[in-house]
Amino acid sequence: MVERYLTVARAGVHESEIKRSRFLCALAPADSEEAAQAFVARVRKEHPGASHNCYAYVIGPDGRLHRASDDGEPGGTAGTPMLQVLLGREVRDTVAVVTRYYGGVQLGAGGLVRAYGGAVSAALDAIGTVERRRLVLVTVTVDHQRAGRLENDLRAAGHTIRDVGYGAAVTIRLGVPDAEAAAFADWLADATSGAATVEVNGGAWV
């Protein structure tokens, strides 16, 4: 099971020019095929006069769902090299659309492959990626006396606390990497002399 993957940091556009042709690579996060196709449609609507709007997307942490389109360019010269960049750089849940405005100079098959793949690679470098990790969501319950120190210890150990609730006892909600869940329970027992309890509340990608 995949526990971490990269995705594009935000939606954005990066432009490059090759032999007078303009290549605008639009990138966006997309966690479903519907979201990816909606983004492709939006880019096409924004560039009705473009020569081509080629796309590629990879959906899912394991990258199992992926599609590509040459949109009129010679077969295999646009969508496939775009997809190969996303897969090769292990970027998931991401859609890329490269809009080409033809500049009057033929690039040839090899030139097109380099141009479209290079546009996606340059856009990823410019816009950036972020790592998403699969975490087990847990709720730690502890008495008020120990809560402040425990919260500090959790933060010092590198855990991101989602929220803290105060009632008859203090509840601290956080995420723990799946592979570390058992070790976390042992650490918590040691840190609180067995006074804290932990409850698992499912999982999430963060």
> Which DSSP category does 9 fall into?
S
Q: Which domains are present in the chain?
A: 4-127 (3.30.230.30), 133-205 (3.30.70.240)
Per-residue model confidence as pLDDT tens digits over 108-160: 999 999 999 999 999 999 999 999 888 888 899 999 988 889 989 888 888 88
For residue 140, the surrounding DSSP H or E stretch is strand 129-142
- Contact (CB, 8 A) for 136 and 5: no
For 191-195, what is the mean pLDDT?
87
For 176-188, what is the mean pLDDT?
85
Per-residue model confidence as pLDDT tens digits over 3-55: 789 999 999 999 999 999 999 999 999 999 999 999 999 999 999 999 999 99
Would you say residue 1 has pLDDT above 70?
no
What is the band of 181 on the pLDDT scale with cuts at 50, 70, 90? confident
For residue 41, the surrounding DSSP H or E stretch is helix 33-46
pLDDT at 180: 82
Task: Report residue 10 as tokens.
Answer: 């935000």
Closest CA to 174 of 194, 146, 195, 155: 155
- Is the alpha carbon torsion for 28, 31, 36, 38 positive or negative? negative
The structure tokens 């042709």 sit at: 21
What is the band of 205 on the pLDDT scale with cuts at 50, 70, 90? confident
